[in-house]
Amino acid sequence: MAVYAIIGTGNMGGALAKGLCKNVNPDQVILFNRTPEKALRLAEALGCRVAASAKDAARQADYILLGVKPYLMAAVIEGFRQELRAGQTLVSMAPGFTMDDVRKMSGDDHPVIRIMPNTPVAVGAGMTLYASDSYVPRDVLDTFLRDLSACGRFAEMDEHLFEAGSAVSGCGPAFAALFMEALADGGVACGLPRAKALELAAQMMAGTAQLALSGIHPGPLKDQVCSPGGTTIQGVRALEKGGLRSAVMEAVIAAYEKSVGK
């Protein structure tokens, strides 16, 4: 059975720990955070172990998940680099660091899996991008994907497309939340109580997303609701007049250009 060390138990690291513990024995999950109380609270909630240091966590693990801020990556890896042994797999979720960057930091040809999760991982409905290369054996990758499957969907992606993918799935929750809040605001303007308007908007978005994931293209999904001369097509007309499509495309492009330094 694989042992996992999660170094950095912030929002994303903590969410991954929760998903992981649904598929593996919590005793196989070791947590470390530079604020020890945060790791301890999470460990008590999940039944995981807590390490006294990043070095101690890395020494025991088969997979080392790095949930630290990008500016801390080099120092954290340097702190446990001497403890690494052949076959241990580093899992990086730090934006801006390629698999080759992480491998060079580790000082050896260790397998590296790069992931880019999003915030819905916290409720088991995440969209996580992942990439691996020839250093990662197929069985090692398969075990990782199986053990983390409770976090949501995983999409394999060429590493050079990570920034583009993240502009959609990583930044997208903020864009979706903005649209959802606007829908609820519209409902409130029409007389709905705030809580009820938000419930209607959220469930509608969740259900529509499920239809899209079932294989129905968004175009037909829209057409199914737009009866000739009906109310919905008038709302669609107002959105088109307001430039919704262009605004959303520009949001994705702006996020992408920021991530690649343009």
Q: How far apart are CA 130 and CA 116, in angstroms?
A: 6
Amino acid at site 81: R
Percent of the chain predicted with pLDDT > 70: 100
Which of 65, 53, 55, 80 has its CA nearest to residue 29? Answer: 65
| Cβ pair 29, 46 in contact under 8 A | yes
Q: Would you state the pLDDT for residue 1?
A: 85
Q: Would you state the pLDDT for residue 109?
A: 82
- CB-based contacts of 185, cutoff 8 Å, min separation 6: 197
| Cβ pair 79, 24 in contact under 8 A | no
> What Rg, from alpha-carbon coordinates, does the chain have?
21
Over the stretch 218-245, which tens digit does the pLDDT of each residue have?
999 999 999 999 999 999 999 999 999 9
Binned at pLDDT 50, 70 and 90, residue 60 comes out as very high
Over the stretch 171-202, which tens digit does the pLDDT of each residue have?
999 999 999 999 999 999 999 999 999 999 99
- CB-based contacts of 187, cutoff 8 Å, min separation 6: 196, 197, 200, 201
Q: How far apart are CA 31 and CA 145, in angstroms?
A: 19
Residue with tokens 């992408």: 256
Over the stretch 82-134, which tens digit does the pLDDT of each residue have?
989 888 999 999 988 999 999 999 987 889 999 999 999 999 999 999 999 88
What is the pTM assigned to this prediction?
0.92
Percent of the chain predicted with pLDDT > 90: 91
- Of all helices (H) and strands (E), which one includes residue 171? none
What domains are defined for the chain?
4-158 (3.40.50.720), 172-259 (1.10.3730.10)
Which CA distances in Å does 91 have to 38, 72, 218, 256?
21, 15, 34, 23
| Per-residue pLDDT at 32 exceeds 80 | yes
Which of 77, 163, 72 has its CA nearest to residue 112? Answer: 77
